[in-house]
């Protein structure tokens, strides 16, 4: 059924679209297509322009629906996005953990779908509010998903789909939350132009022109911001050693001696190339997470092998190690600086602050065991560290984060606030695949732009590589192969607007999301009163 509003009664030739929501037979495939569009925006596909299209699809599907219907459509979008995006989680653990994680993450898009349906009166009353409302709702949803439960799981944030996009520059201004907001605003702009014709003789071109100007403005700002290394200048040579593992899978740590030997041997080979003059001597060598799953502080043979590598190369090595303690049955995932001649520097040791639940520690183990016996693969719970990953290597102060920690805004920002001049991500992708590794590298690219720092990712199996402060990747390695790359990097001591702002952009945008929900509540109440009167 169509209706005419006041403007249309004066211009009867222009009729607005139906006053109700999209028909269910249309809304359901649109919601699923929205999830697929969001999916292919992420690596390894990298079709980043489809992220706003996916945002727009969910907004259109949920608009003017009842809350349960909006939640259901959001859930469909979430399943279409997260099930394939997180498929790497089922490679070695079976289907159940992957299904549970995917459904949990889809639940947050169900909340977003319900919120989108709830704010329909706001965007119906002020059409140009649609981009802003869409933007803040996405930021609010991600703020919730990034923190709950068990510390959250930020994988699949809109911002992480934009590593090759001109919108990435917005990270320099406000970090990942602002990039997510901008992508969602772009999706809201698409809805403004598509949802229905505007009244008047210019009802076709006015919204199209406004949308085009808005999109060009978003892209223009992203391109124009001065991404780079603030306060940079001094440089040094850094080597990444990707030693590889004998075979991929959950039993990688059963091969721990072979993995340690691979990294030692690759470093000793590099030392020979340095001695011959073929390669410049590095000032720092970075090994990945789990490069020594034998505790080198307690196992003299493992420690001796690492010292052999450090003495041969003549430079400190940041070693990813599993350390015993502090309590019985507890272990730590750590990055420890190993100096030539003197060995481990216990004053420069970072312990991972955000162990992964159900992978590095098991909450509610007895209950979790009833769901899946796979939890017993985690024999000892990893203990969380308490201090930021600021490691002083002498020639450079490192901002060390381990594996999934790169997805968490505060864990990376704390290292820069602590004086980090170079961002380092130590990771182990031996239990996953190349898609997961490339998704993680996209996060490193965003962090480099966000904080104006050169960055690197060192993986046991790949993908490893260097990232410039403007997000460009250099010397990226292949997957499941041994590789050593050496590159000169420029250090930085400055602070970007995003670093200075900290969490305030996210707090402000999430607060606006709450305000939009409140305004919608007021409008709905007024409508009920009017209908009752």
* Residues annotated catalytic, as ranges: 289, 352, 403
- Of 310, 294, 318, 301, nearest to 423 by C-alpha is 318
Q: Are 460 and 244 in contact (CB under 8 A)?
A: yes
- Angle, CA of 465, 470 and 476, to the nearest 5°: 15
Q: Are 447 and 408 in contact (CB under 8 A)?
A: no
Alpha-carbon distance 288 to 464, whole Å? Answer: 9
Q: Are 471 and 444 in contact (CB under 8 A)?
A: no
Q: Are 291 and 460 in contact (CB under 8 A)?
A: yes
Other Cβ atoms less than 10 A from the Cβ of 262: the count is 20
44: Cβ contacts below 8 Å, ≥ 6 apart: 434, 435, 438, 439
DSSP readout, 3-46?
---HHHHHSTT-----SSPPPHHHHHHHHHHHHHHHHHHSTTT-
Alpha-carbon distance 392 to 396, whole Å? Answer: 6
373: Cβ contacts below 8 Å, ≥ 6 apart: none
Question: Between the CA of residue 82 and those of 60, 108, 343, 391, what are the distances in Å?
Answer: 20, 11, 44, 35
Name 392's bridge partners.
397
278: Cβ contacts below 8 Å, ≥ 6 apart: none
318: Cβ contacts below 8 Å, ≥ 6 apart: 284, 285, 286, 287, 335, 336, 337, 338, 391, 393, 398, 400, 424, 426
Q: Are 258 and 290 in contact (CB under 8 A)?
A: no
Length of the chain, in residues: 533
481: Cβ contacts below 8 Å, ≥ 6 apart: 242, 244, 461, 462
The token pair at 362 is: 């098991």
The token pair at 474 is: 């250099």
Name 301's bridge partners.
none
Task: Give the rounded distance of the alpha carbon of 419 from its chain centre.
Answer: 23
Q: Are 119 and 93 in contact (CB under 8 A)?
A: no
Residue with tokens 């789990």: 290
């Amino acid at each position: 059924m169509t209706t005419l509003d006041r403007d249309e009664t004066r211009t009867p030739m222009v009729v607005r679209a139906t006053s109700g929501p999209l028909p269910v037979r249309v809304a359901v495939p649109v919601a699923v297509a929205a999830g697929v569009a969001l999916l292919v925006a992420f690596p390894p596909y990298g079709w980043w322009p489809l992220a706003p299209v996916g945002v727009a699809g969910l907004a259109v599907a949920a608009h003017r629906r009842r809350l349960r219907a909006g939640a259901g459509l959001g859930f469909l979008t979430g399943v279409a996005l997260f099930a394939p995006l997180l498929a790497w989680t089922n490679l070695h653990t079976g289907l159940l953990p992957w299904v549970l994680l995917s459904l949990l993450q889809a639940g947050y898009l169900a909340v977003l779908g319900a919120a989108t349906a709830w704010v329909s009166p706001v965007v119906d009353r002020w059409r140009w509010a649609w981009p802003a409302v869409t933007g803040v709702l996405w930021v609010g949803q991600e703020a919730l998903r990034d923190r709950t439960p068990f510390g959250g799981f930020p994988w699949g944030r809109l911002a992480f789909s934009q590593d090759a996009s001109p919108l990435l520059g917005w990270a320099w201004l406000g970090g990942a939350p602002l990039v997510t907001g901008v992508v969602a605003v772009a999706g809201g702009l698409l809805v403004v132009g598509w949802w229905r014709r505007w009244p008047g003789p210019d009802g076709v071109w006015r919204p199209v022109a406004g949308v085009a100007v808005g999109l060009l403005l978003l892209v223009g700002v992203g391109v124009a911001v001065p991404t780079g290394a603030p306060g940079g200048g001094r440089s040094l040579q850094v080597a990444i050693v990707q030693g590889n593992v004998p075979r991929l899978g959950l039993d990688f740590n059963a091969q721990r001696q072979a993995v340690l030997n691979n990294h030692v041997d690759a470093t000793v080979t590099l030392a020979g190339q340095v001695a011959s003059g073929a390669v410049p001597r590095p000032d720092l060598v970075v090994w990945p997470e789990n490069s020594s799953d034998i505790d080198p502080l307690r196992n003299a043979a493992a420690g001796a092998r690492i010292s052999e590598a450090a003495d041969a190369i003549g430079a400190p090595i940041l070693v990813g190690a599993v350390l015993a303690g502090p309590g019985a049955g507890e272990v730590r995932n750590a990055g420890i600086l190993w100096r030539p001649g003197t060995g481990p520097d216990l004053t420069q040791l970072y312990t991972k602050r955000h162990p992964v639940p159900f992978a590095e520690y098991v909450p509610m183990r007895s209950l979790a065991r009833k769901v899946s016996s796979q939890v017993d693969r985690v024999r000892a719970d990893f203990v969380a560290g308490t201090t930021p990953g600021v490691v002083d290597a002498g020639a450079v102060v490192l901002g060390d984060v381990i594996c999934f920690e790169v997805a968490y805004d505060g864990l990376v920002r704390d290292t820069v606030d602590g004086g980090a001049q170079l961002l380092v991500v130590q990771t182990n992708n031996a239990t996953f695949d190349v898609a997961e590794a490339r998704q993680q590298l996209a996060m490193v690219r965003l962090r480099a732009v966000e904080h104006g720092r050169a960055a690197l990712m060192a993986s046991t199996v790949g993908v490893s590589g260097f990232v410039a402060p403007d997000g460009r990747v250099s010397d990226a390695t292949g997957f499941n192969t041994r590789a050593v790359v050496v590159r000169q990097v420029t250090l930085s001591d400055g602070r970007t607007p995003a670093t200075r702002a900290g969490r305030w952009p996210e707090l402000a945008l999430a607060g606006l999301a709450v305000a939009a929900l409140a305004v919608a509540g007021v409008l709905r109440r007024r409508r009920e009163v009017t209908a009752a009167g």
